[in-house]
Chain A
Amino acid sequence: MDTYVTPTARTISGLVIEDRERHLFRVARRAFTDAEVLDGERDNIFDRCWLYLGHSSEIANNCDFITRSVGGRELIFNRDRGGAVHAFLNTCPHRGAMVVREKKGNALSFRCFYHGWSFNVNGRFASRFDEGNYGKEHYGGGCADLMQVPRLEQYRDFWFVNFDRNAVSLADYLAGAKEYIDLVADQAEAGMEVVGSGQQYVINANWKLLAENSIDAFHGFPVHSTYFDYLKNIGSLRMEQGNSDFTARGMSDLGNGHAVIEYASPWGRPIARWVPSWGEEKREHVERLRQGLIQRFGQERGIRIAETSRNMLIFPNLVINDIMSITIRTFMPDAPNRMTVSAWALGARGEDADLRKLRLFNFLEFLGPGGFATPDDQEALENCQRGYKNVREVGWNDISKGMPRSGPPMNDDEEQMRCFWRQWRDRMAGGR
Chain B
Amino acid sequence: MSPDAGVAPGLPADDRGLRARVEDFLYLEADLLDEWRIEEWFALFAEGATYEVPPTGEDDEADPATSLFYIADDYVRLRERVVRLTKKEAHSEFPRSRQRHMISNVRITDMSNGVADVTCNFVTYRAKRGVVDTYYGKHVYRIDCAAQPWRIKSKRSILGMDMLYPGKLTIII
Contact = CB atoms under 8 A, between A and B. Distances in A.
Interface stretch (B42-50, B51-59, B102-110, B142-150): B51-59
B70 A364 contact: yes
A200 B71 contact: no
Contact of B57 (A103, A363, A365, A372): A103
Contact of A201 (B76, B77, B91, B164): B164
A196 to B, nearest CB: 4
A182 interface: no
A202 B165 contact: yes
Nearest to B94: A379
Interface residues of B, number: 35
Contact of B91 (A345, A360, A379): A379
A33 B6 CA distance: 53
A370 B70 contact: yes
B68 A226 contact: no
Interface string A346-370: 0000000100110011011100111
A84 B65 CA distance: 31
- Main DSSP-derived SS at the B contact region: loop
B77 to A, nearest CB: 7
Given A356-B66, A375-B92, A234 B167 contact: no
A330 interface: no
Nearest to B56: A200
Given A226-B87, A233-B80, A378 B68 contact: no
A378 B64 contact: no
Contacts of A98: none
B90 interface: yes
A200 B164 contact: yes
B69 to A, nearest CB: 6
A375 B169 contact: yes
Contact of A196 (B68, B84, B167, B170): B68
Nearest to A325: B68
B167 A204 contact: yes
A226 B24 CA distance: 34
A147 interface: no
A344 B87 CA distance: 29
B16 interface: no
A225 interface: yes
Nearest to B69: A364
B150 to A, nearest CB: 26
Interface of A: 103, 195-204, 223, 225-226, 229-230, 233-234, 341, 344-345, 353, 356-357, 360-361, 363-365, 368-370, 372, 374-376, 378-380, 386
Nearest 4 CB-CB pairs, A to B? A196-B68, A370-B70, A370-B71, A196-B67
Interface of B: 53, 55-58, 64-72, 76-77, 80-81, 83-84, 87, 89-92, 129, 131, 163-170
17 contacts: A195-B68, A196-B58, A197-B55, A199-B68, A201-B168, A225-B89, A226-B84, A234-B77, A356-B65, A360-B64, A360-B69, A368-B68, A369-B167, A370-B71, A376-B91, A379-B168, A386-B129
